[in-house]
């Protein structure tokens, strides 16, 4: 007997991905948070996410077009519950050598600072704009009259972004600017750097920096645009160039180790996984909401 699967009418594929992510986090929370009430917070979050998504009407199309932004923020913030009470920094000590080779031996820091505050300011602006790159990408689609491709973009973006969050509990780590306080820092401090540091002090999480979610999400936006608008690749290439600047900014600014940025880029390619799956999926009886 052929087993068929039928999704809830009107529920979009990326909404199922969101549900799967929050369910996964709820499942691993008791393992990584063995004591205290926080181990159950992720379960409450998963129930809340399910209630919101399943409660949305298929007619709430505009709300659903933008809802992934809220869920992505919630997914990021809940990773703070996984912050370990004790760190030994063994991961950071194994990573710092690559950074010092890149910054000092390969003269990356000197090259960035060769034009004074110009390039450091540009990199810090790129870093702070990561928080806006997803809505900017959505606006690019809308301005190009591709609202019907938003579900494709969100599926790619979420696959490349949530996967980075999902790895945080396995790699507890501090950013290099705090793990090695006072070492390897930029020689030029701009107002944009002060802004970034202030944002991170107030709203950053402390559980992990590996892989870099800044890098993975920025590149995931580029790949999402490439998949959603293959006939207008220039937008994807522009965002990809921006994402590369973000990767350099994370290393130069000591927000991340070089290995974090490299891992973030690698994880971002999961944005293409749903596309491959959709092309290979020939199972009958599967209904996909749009």
- Under 8 Å between Cβ of 219 and 265: yes
Report the pLDDT value the prediction gives residue 60, as an integer from 0 to 100.
Answer: 77
Report the pLDDT value the prediction gives residue 282, as an integer from 0 to 100.
Answer: 42
What is the C-alpha to C-alpha distance for residues 145 and 124, in angstroms, rounded to an integer?
Answer: 32
Between the alpha carbon of residue 242 and those of residues 87, 222, 235, 274, 286, the distances in Å are 33, 9, 11, 24, 37
Question: Percentage of residues in the chain with pLDDT exceeding 70?
Answer: 91
Report the pLDDT value the prediction gives residue 279, as an integer from 0 to 100.
Answer: 56
Q: What is the pLDDT of residues 147-206, one digit of tens each?
A: 999 999 999 999 999 999 999 999 999 999 999 999 999 999 999 999 999 999 999 999
Residue 191 has a CB neighbour count (10 Å cut-off) of: 10
Euclidean distance between the first and final Cα of the chain, in Å? 29
Report the pLDDT value the prediction gives residue 277, as an integer from 0 to 100.
Answer: 59
What is the C-alpha to C-alpha distance for residues 28 and 14, in angstroms, rounded to an integer?
Answer: 21
Report the pLDDT value the prediction gives residue 12, as an integer from 0 to 100.
Answer: 87
Contacts 24+ apart (CB under 8 A), 185-189: 185/254, 186/109, 186/112, 186/113, 186/120, 186/252, 186/253, 186/254, 187/109, 187/113, 188/113, 188/116, 188/117, 188/120
Token reading at 233: 């690749």
Q: What is the largest CA-CA distance in the chain?
A: 70
Look at 62-76, 193-207, 266-280 and tell me which has the smallest mean pLDDT: 266-280
Split at pLDDT 50, 70, 90, the class of 6 is very low
Range of 105's domain?
88-280
Q: Residue 15: inside a domain, yes or no?
A: no
Query: Average pLDDT of 120-127?
Result: 98
Q: Residue 288: inside a domain, yes or no?
A: no
Nearest to 286 by CA among 51, 16, 57: 16
Q: Residue 11: inside a domain, yes or no?
A: no
Q: Residue 121: inside a domain, yes or no?
A: yes
Q: Residue 266: inside a domain, yes or no?
A: yes
Domain count, the chain: 1
Q: Residue 286: inside a domain, yes or no?
A: no
- HEC profile for 35-71? CCCHHHHHHHHHHHHHHHHHHCCCCCHHHHHHHHHHH
What is the C-alpha to C-alpha distance for residues 260 and 175, in angstroms, rounded to an integer?
Answer: 10
Q: What is the pLDDT of residues 82-104, one digit of tens each?
A: 999 888 999 999 999 999 999 99
In terms of residues, how long is the chain? 290
Q: Residue 54: inside a domain, yes or no?
A: no
Q: Residue 77: inside a domain, yes or no?
A: no
Backbone angles phi, psi at 289, to 5 degrees: -75, 150
DSSP assignment, residue 102?
I
Mean pLDDT over each residue of the chain, to the nearest integer: 90
């Amino acid at each position: 007997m052929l087993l068929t699967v039928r999704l809830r009418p009107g529920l979009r594929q990326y909404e199922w991905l969101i549900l799967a992510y929050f369910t996964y986090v709820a499942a691993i929370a008791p393992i990584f948070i063995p004591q205290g009430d926080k181990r159950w917070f992720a379960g409450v979050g998963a129930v809340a996410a399910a209630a919101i998504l399943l409660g949305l009407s298929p007619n709430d199309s505009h709300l659903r077009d933008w809802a992934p932004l809220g869920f992505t923020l919630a997914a990021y913030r809940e990773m703070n519950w996984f912050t370990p009470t004790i760190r030994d920094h063994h991961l950071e000590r194994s990573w710092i050598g690559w950074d010092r080779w890149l910054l000092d031996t390969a003269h990356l820091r000197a090259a960035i600072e060769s034009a004074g505050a110009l390039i450091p300011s540009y990199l810090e602006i790129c870093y702070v704009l990561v928080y806006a790159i997803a809505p900017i990408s959505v606006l690019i689609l809308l301005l190009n009259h591709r609202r019907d491709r938003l579900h494709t973009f969100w599926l790619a973006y979420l696959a490349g972004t949530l996967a980075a969050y999902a790895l945080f509990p396995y790699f507890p780590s501090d950013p290099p600017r705090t793990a090695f306080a006072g070492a390897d820092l930029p020689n030029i401090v701009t107002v944009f750097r002060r802004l970034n540091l202030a944002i991170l002090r107030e709203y950053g999480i402390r559980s992990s920096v590996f892989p870099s979610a800044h890098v993975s999400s920025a590149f995931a936006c580029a790949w999402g645009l490439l998949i959603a608008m293959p006939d207008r690749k220039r937008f994807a290439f522009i965002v990809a160039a921006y994402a590369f600047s973000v990767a350099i900014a994370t290393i130069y600014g000591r927000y991340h180790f070089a290995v974090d940025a490299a891992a973030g880029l690698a994880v971002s390619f999961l944005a293409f996984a749903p596309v491959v799956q959709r092309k290979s999926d020939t199972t009958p009886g599967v209904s996909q909401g749009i």
